Amino acid sequence: MPTEPDADLVLTLRVNGDRKRLLIPANRTLLNLLRQDLGLTGSKHGCDVGDCGACTVLMNGAPRLSCVTLAADAEGAELLTVEGVSVGGALHPLQAAFHEQVAAQCGYCTPGFIMALKALFDERPDPSDEELNEVLGANICRCTGYTKILAAARQARERMNGRSA
Amino acid sequence: MSEHEKPSGEPVPVGRRGGKIDGLPKITGAARFTDDLTLPGMLHGAFLRSPHAHARILSIDVSAAAALPGVYAVLTGADLPTPYGVIPVAQDEHALAVGKVLFIGDEVAAVAAVDQETARRAAALIRVEYEPLEGVFTIEDALNPDKPLLHDERRRKGDTNVLRRVFQKYGDPEAGFAEADVILESSYDYPGSTHVPLETQVALAQPHPDGKLTLWSSTQIPHYLHRIVAKVLGMREQDVRVIKPDVGAGYGGKSDPFANELCAAALARKTGRPVKFILDREEVFYAHRGRHPTRMTLKMGVTKDGRITAADFKAWAAGGAYASYGVVTAYYFGVFLPLPYKLDHWQFESHRCYTNHPPCGPKRGHGAIQPRFALELHLDKLAHAIGMSPEALRLKNTVEPDTETSNGLRITSVALKECVDKVVAASGYLEKRGKLGPNRGIGLATSAYMCGALHPIVQSEMPQSAVQICADRSGRVSILSGTADIGQGSNHMLAAIVAGRLGIPETDCVVLESDTGLTPVDLGSYSSRVTFFAGNAAKMAAEQLYAVIRAAAAEKLGGDDVVMAGGKVFRASAPEKALEFADAVQLAEERHGTLGFVGHYKPPKIGSRFRRQSVGPSPAYSFTAQVAEVVVDPETGFVTVERIWAAHDCGKALNPTIVEGQIEGCVYMGVGEALGEEQSYTKTGLHRAPSILEYKIPTVFETPEITTIIVESNDKEGPYGAKEAGEGPQLSTVPAIANAIFDACGVWMNEAPFTPDRVLKAIERRDREARRAAAEEGA
């Protein structure tokens, strides 16, 4: 039996730059907090047990499976979701490359891939192919065979590092 | 020549690479899938599922569930007694079990409550009394007339759980085998597997005060869902509106109407509130409708110089508890067996059986994957036996363009030889085969697939696809279509065709799709039909708009040599005096009135010598050749697929980037089926691996490097030459890998998936036989 849902708590955090203060049930997952309480539906339910990566968000800059994270763990944290990746209406180079390469077919896994790759690029601006693979390995895509996703990640890497691609 | 086949004079610029017109929302998080929709006052649904594989329901007590605070309604089978099924002759399903449960996971009752947690808690409070019945778990069980029947009572002595047996015979197989120099016979086993789209099945139903209903759902066939929801709920079809938002893929797995859709609708009607009904990941493994596990035998004969003379094929599929599309599967098993080869003398017999498992249905390459696996492996065995190169044997027997097959399929465009030549050259197949050293090998396979079915599932003379287009005075063109984009890019395909014809950017088109309240009927995203059927409908509509705009522009510009390109309308002889497209639209509207046109597609009536051949014929076929390179670890039996080269004849690539993506996706799904994906059950019918972690799907690490080669045969009847690309390429992948394993270590993998234990056993058998042969030679 899950925790009594009426055991509420107050949560303060920053999401995509905006400060949020909410009253939530103690058993609320971070994914449901984003989707239900904040209306940020870009992060997806794929499995709800941390197997597929579709719910990946950045918590204090690090990738996090929001479906198996309690919202309470995000107290005071800085969260970034796919909705916060393009700043001022301009696509992030990763997003531009995903678009150009048609790396999103059905698009359901895409937010998770973009967030996982963004975390890598934030930490290592010029990752090797092996490092790209390592990150992609934590997410499942059933449409693309990962081929166009890898192509997009490489294209973004080249462009972000001022090389032609 | 029908209206939409008229040549339009100037060449149409289709084939731009790159992003989809509706691609950006999927990258920014703005896309709206069904689960992303919320309505005020929305309730949530949950199921109670059967813990028994086969049992009679003696009683159901919902009182404790109904009394739980937060519960608004509870449904059981008695509330929705109308049976349904997509195939008219197989109406064997109920939204909730009526009388019996037929597999572990079968839906028994449904609850609507204030939130999902309460709904699930309530479902668990429902008390059901069952009388367990003997289960039917194997093909032997299904064929045994002494076993209980899943559906109906036994009417005649000898009735079994065979849903459909099909037998067809062409030419004179006996005479064909007599012509052969070498005849081989083998048994093959192909596993059941499931789609695992990342989005689970989700439905959201909204009742309206006038008694009408809107249903948003993650379906890939809104039209059939529309019909069946109305039927099961006892509503008029015009009172039901089905809308398909963005869908997180299907691969065939969202082709059936599902219990969550029907129960969301029924619960919404009962409570007067919107109801969202989501399957969780585990439940999707029970909803299933995936690949049929299939046992096969194949006997084939060839002459010494490599002509295939005869084939005899048998298949038995353990199809699970309900028919789904299983009647069609039984036909597909045989009808596509020879393609892409010429074969005059052959026969097949197939059985699609009921068993007490989650129901099988259509999965990418429906019904054709299993026989292709058997036949392509068999061809390599035959090539080996007559000392011929596998690619030469295939090329010798390849079907020719503009011919008819022995079973009455009309063949038009074929570029299979080019596909074979290109993958052979790109992969270095000829140089590598037999020479890659121990435990590394290379294999080839080819295949063909349909571009939609000539005959619709529900018989009708009406069009199977329709598209409506309107030109706005701004120059924007709206396209309304009942097609279901589930990620394959059909929205972009429609825009590419219309924009190509009108010479405007694709992004100046807006596509409104999949809303049975607004868009003209399209039969849906299955059997690889959308590009050919809906594409032709869009072309027909676009040609009419083109003609009207062109005529208006010709009058204004004072000459007939008007072309439309680059967003401008001008005379070819005077390109400097160009009209903006929007201005040309306005001129046309002044002359013609509001610019709205409809187009439709109805496949041509293709006469066949065989009246019974109603399942299988298509207006065109796609062709594929693939080469796989693998490494086998002889110590562990572990197979690594390092690289796959795939050449596909898609007629014409309306957007090559999207076509490549379809080919890559097919190869990926084939690799999964080759290496480990399996819907596997215990002896009592319990799913062994109902989670993404346990059901082994390839990650990026198991996925080979894929080289795609697009081959364009420019089909005369395809929209601007196009054929399908979404399913056909998967057919070659598994046999190419199996043939590569033989090249690597000399074992024929007659049973898929090629898991380490199976490969190791095959290697041990090879070594035993070699020792025995050596001992006999020594003696």
* B531 and B515 in a common domain: yes
- Binned at pLDDT 50, 70 and 90, residue B2 comes out as very low
Q: Is B179 helix (H, G, I), strand (E, B) or coil?
A: helix
Among candidates A129, A20, A162, which has minimal Cα distance to A84?
A: A20
* B54 and B9 in a common domain: no
* Burial class of residue A5, CB neighbours in 10 A (0-12, 13-18, 19+): middle
- Which pLDDT score is estimated for B616? 86
| Candidate from A44, A49, A137 with C-beta closest to B700 | A137
Domains and CATH numbers, chain A: 8-82 (3.10.20.30), 87-160 (1.10.150.120)
- Domain for residue B752, yes or no? yes
- What's B271's domain CATH number? 3.90.1170.50
* B706 and B677 in a common domain: yes
Residues in A touching B290 (Cβ below 8 Å): none
Which of residues B550, B575, B601 is at a domain's end? B601
Q: Work out whether strand B596-601 and strand B465-471 pair parallel, antiparallel, or are unpaired.
A: antiparallel
Nearest CA in chain A to B695: A51
Among candidates B629, B625, B627, B639, which has minimal Cα distance to B752?
A: B639
Q: How far is Cα B244 from Cα B202, in angstroms, rounded to an integer?
A: 10
Q: How far is Cα B322 from Cα B101, in angstroms, rounded to an integer?
A: 11
- Domain for residue B346, yes or no? no
Query: Using CB atoms and an 8 Å cut-off, which of residues 332-371 of chain B contact chain A?
Result: none
Nearest CA in chain B to A146: B700
CB B275 within 8 A of CB B205: yes
Range of the domain at B435: 401-450+618-779
Q: How far is Cα B198 from Cα A105, in angstroms, rounded to an integer?
A: 12
Mean pLDDT, residues B324-332 taken together:
97
Segment B138-195, tens digit of pLDDT: 999 999 999 999 997 777 888 999 999 999 999 999 999 999 999 999 999 999 999 9
CB neighbours of residue A126 within 10 Å: 11
Output the CA–CA distances (angstroms, integers) from residue B677 to A27, A93, B164, B696, B733, in the order listed: 34, 35, 26, 5, 14
- Binned at pLDDT 50, 70 and 90, residue A6 comes out as low
Mean pLDDT, residues B24-29 taken together:
97
DSSP string, B450-477: ESS-SS-SS--SS-SEEEEEEE-TTS-E
Segment B383-426, tens digit of pLDDT: 999 999 999 999 999 999 999 999 999 999 999 999 999 999 99
Whether residue B7 has pLDDT greater than 70: no
Q: How many domains does chain B have?
A: 3
* B47 and B27 in a common domain: no
Provide the shortest C-alpha distance from residue B549 to chain A (in Å).
Answer: 32
Q: Is B567 helix (H, G, I), strand (E, B) or coil?
A: coil
* B470 and B583 in a common domain: yes
- Which pLDDT score is estimated for B9? 58
CB B728 within 8 A of CB B666: yes
Q: How far is Cα B747 from Cα B753, in angstroms, rounded to an integer?
A: 14
Q: C-alpha B599: how far from its chain's center? A: 25
* B644 and B751 in a common domain: yes
Q: Which tokens hold the place of B266?
A: 């029924």
Q: Is B420 helix (H, G, I), strand (E, B) or coil?
A: helix
B282 in A contact zone (CB under 8 Å) = no
Among candidates B50, B53, B57, which has minimal Cα distance to B137?
A: B53
Name, in order, each residue with C-beta under 8 angstroms of B140's C-beta and a sequence gap of 6 or more: none
Average pLDDT of every residue of chain B: 96
- What's B479's domain CATH number? 3.30.365.10
Helix (H) or strand (E) holding B494: helix B490-502
- Which pLDDT score is estimated for B12? 85
CB B596 within 8 A of CB B470: yes
Name, in order, each residue with C-beta under 8 angstroms of A39's C-beta and a sequence gap of 6 or more: none
Provide the shortest C-alpha distance from residue A12 to chain B (in Å).
Answer: 23
- Binned at pLDDT 50, 70 and 90, residue B5 comes out as very low
- Which pLDDT score is estimated for B6? 40
Q: How far is Cα B591 from Cα B281, in angstroms, rounded to an integer?
A: 56
| Candidate from B249, B667, B691 with C-beta closest to A105 | B249
* B703 and B631 in a common domain: yes
- Binned at pLDDT 50, 70 and 90, residue A113 comes out as very high
Name, in order, each residue with C-beta under 8 angstroms of A11's C-beta and a sequence gap of 6 or more: A20, A21, A22, A23, A24, A33, A71, A72, A74, A75
- Domain for residue B108, yes or no? yes
* B98 and B80 in a common domain: yes
* Burial class of residue B400, CB neighbours in 10 A (0-12, 13-18, 19+): exposed
Which of residues B277, B312, B331 is at a domain's end? B277
Q: How far is Cα B308 from Cα A127, in angstroms, rounded to an integer?
A: 53
CB B617 within 8 A of CB B410: yes
- Domain for residue B298, yes or no? no
- Domain for residue B115, yes or no? yes
CB B332 within 8 A of CB B95: no
Helix (H) or strand (E) holding B237: none
| Candidate from A41, A52, A141 with C-beta closest to B36 | A41
- Binned at pLDDT 50, 70 and 90, residue B8 comes out as very low
- Which pLDDT score is estimated for B136? 98
CB B475 within 8 A of CB B585: yes
Q: How far is Cα A109 from Cα A117, in angstroms, rounded to an integer?
A: 13
Residues in A touching B706 (Cβ below 8 Å): 145, 147
* B595 and B625 in a common domain: no
CB B440 within 8 A of CB B629: yes
Q: Is B761 helix (H, G, I), strand (E, B) or coil?
A: helix
Q: Which tokens hold the place of B37?
A: 């929709």
CB B390 within 8 A of CB B444: yes
Query: Using CB atoms and an 8 Å cut-off, which of residues 112-151 of chain B contact chain A?
Result: 117
B691 in A contact zone (CB under 8 Å) = yes
Q: Is B51 helix (H, G, I), strand (E, B) or coil?
A: coil
Which of residues B250, B277, B304 is at a domain's end? B277
Name, in order, each residue with C-beta under 8 angstroms of B7's C-beta and a sequence gap of 6 or more: none
- Which pLDDT score is estimated for B3? 36
Peptide bond connecting B575 to the previous residue in cis, omega within 30 degrees of 0: no
Segment B739-761, tens digit of pLDDT: 999 999 999 999 999 999 999 99
Give ipTM to 2 decimals. Answer: 0.96
Q: Which tokens hold the place of B518?
A: 């607004």
Peptide bond connecting B753 to the previous residue in cis, omega within 30 degrees of 0: yes
- In DSSP terms, B202 is beta-bridged to B278
Three-state SS letters, B504-559? CCHHHEEEEECECCCCCCECCCCCCCHHHHHHHHHHHHHHHHHHHHHHHHHHHHCC
DSSP string, B97-127: -SSEE-STT-EEEEEEESSHHHHHHHHHT-E
Provide the shortest C-alpha distance from residue A80 to chain B (in Å).
Answer: 12
- Which pLDDT score is estimated for B4? 38
CB within 8 Å: B18 and A102:
yes
* B569 and B593 in a common domain: yes
Q: Which tokens hold the place of A38?
A: 């904040």
More confident residue, A7 or B557: B557
- Domain for residue B341, yes or no? no
Residues in B touching A111 (Cβ below 8 Å): 29
Whether residue A1 has pLDDT greater than 70: no
Name, in order, each residue with C-beta under 8 angstroms of B20's C-beta and a sequence gap of 6 or more: A99, A102, B489, B491, B492, B655, B658
Segment A99-110, tens digit of pLDDT: 999 999 999 999
More confident residue, B611 or B415: B415
- Which pLDDT score is estimated for B1? 32
Q: Which tokens hold the place of B253?
A: 């797995």
- In DSSP terms, B100 is beta-bridged to B56
Name, in order, each residue with C-beta under 8 angstroms of B745's C-beta and a sequence gap of 6 or more: B438, B439, B441, B632, B634, B763, B766
- Domain for residue B144, yes or no? no
Segment B206-261, tens digit of pLDDT: 999 999 999 999 999 999 999 999 999 999 999 999 999 999 999 999 999 999 99
* B271 and B208 in a common domain: yes
Q: Write phi, then psi, for B477 (nearest 5 degrees).
A: -120, 125
- Domain for residue B25, yes or no? yes
Q: How far is Cα B630 from Cα B639, in angstroms, rounded to an integer?
A: 7
Q: How far is Cα A89 from Cα A80, in angstroms, rounded to an integer?
A: 16
Q: How far is Cα B531 from Cα B37, in angstroms, rounded to an integer?
A: 29
- Binned at pLDDT 50, 70 and 90, residue B610 comes out as confident
Distance between first and last Cα of chain B: 73
Q: Which tokens hold the place of A11?
A: 């949560």
Angle, vertex CA A117, rays to CA A115 and CA A122, nearest 5: 95
* B585 and B678 in a common domain: no
Among candidates B156, B153, B157, B66, which has minimal Cα distance to B113?
A: B66
Helix (H) or strand (E) holding B446: strand B440-450
Q: How far is Cα B683 from Cα B248, in angstroms, rounded to an integer?
A: 33
Segment B32-49, tens digit of pLDDT: 999 999 999 999 999 999
Nearest CA in chain B to A95: B27
B25 in A contact zone (CB under 8 Å) = yes
Q: How far is Cα B577 from Cα B386, in angstroms, rounded to an integer?
A: 68
